């Protein structure tokens, strides 16, 4: 489902190709620039004013993380789950995305924390901690573990 929605988004006339590791994504600049400080900064710092290709090096989670973050930029409702919340948090933090996305993530984390307190099941906790473990190095630098 995620790839189908991403394909619909990228079918819009594109003027920017974003490379994340070995994957390339074609998008229209405006939605990405309006919601991602990282992409806005990369485009502003480029020597060529008509930049059509940028490379996002160091993005935690690689192309999977970028796909989810791009969906947010285009206003697609992405389901935040136990298995993708850490990935999403890392990606949005790295891409310096706008506050409305952080609000959705924090609401999920708060709901999940309350649920864990009352419905502590081993499989659910295990899934959450496996997801967080993948991105721990990046997460410990971010607000999620600092606060």
Rounded average pLDDT over 26-42: 89
> Do 94 and 114 form a contact (C-beta atoms < 8 A)?
no
pLDDT band at 122 (very low <50, low <70, confident <90, very high): low
Q: How many domains are contained in the chain?
A: 1
pLDDT at 83: 75
Whole domain around residue 48: which residue ranges? Answer: 2-146
Q: What is the pLDDT of residues 49-97, one digit of tens each?
A: 788 899 998 888 899 889 988 888 888 877 777 777 778 888 888 888 8
Residue 139 backbone dihedrals phi, psi, to 5 degrees: -65, -35
- The helix/strand/coil state of 17 is strand
Rounded average pLDDT over 103-125: 63
Q: In this predicted model, which residue has the larger pLDDT, 3 or 65?
A: 65
β-bridge mates for residue 24, sequence order: 19
pLDDT at 18: 92
Closest CA to 85 of 38, 129, 120, 140: 129
Cα separation of 61 and 22, whole Å? 13
pLDDT at 137: 64
Q: What is the DSSP string of 49-82?
A: TT--EEE-TT-TTHHHHHHHHHHHHTT--PPP-T
β-bridge mates for residue 54, sequence order: 18
Least trusted range by pLDDT, from 13-27, 44-58, 69-83, 95-109: 95-109
Surface-to-core class of residue 72, CB atoms within 10 Å of its CB (0-12 exposed, 13-18 middle, 19+ buried): buried
CATH number of domain containing 64: 3.30.710.10
Is the pTM higher than 0.85? Answer: no
> Do 110 and 63 form a contact (C-beta atoms < 8 A)?
no
pLDDT for residue 140 is more than 80: no
């Amino acid at each position: 489902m995620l790839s189908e929605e991403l394909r619909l988004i990228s079918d819009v006339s594109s003027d920017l190709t974003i490379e994340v590791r070995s994957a390339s994504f074609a998008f229209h600049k405006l939605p990405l620039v309006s919601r991602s400080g990282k992409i806005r900064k990369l485009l502003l710092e480029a020597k060529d004013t008509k930049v059509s290709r940028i490379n996002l090096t160091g993005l935690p989670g690689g192309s999977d993380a970028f796909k989810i973050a791009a969906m947010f930029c285009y206003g697609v409702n992405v389901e935040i789950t136990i298995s993708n919340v850490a990935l999403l948090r890392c990606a949005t933090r790295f891409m310096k995305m706008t506050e409305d996305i952080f609000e959705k993530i924090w609401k999920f984390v708060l709901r999940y924390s309350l649920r864990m307190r009352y419905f502590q099941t081993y499989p659910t906790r295990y899934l959450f901690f496996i997801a967080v473990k993948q991105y721990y190095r990046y997460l410990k630098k971010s607000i999620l573990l600092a606060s």
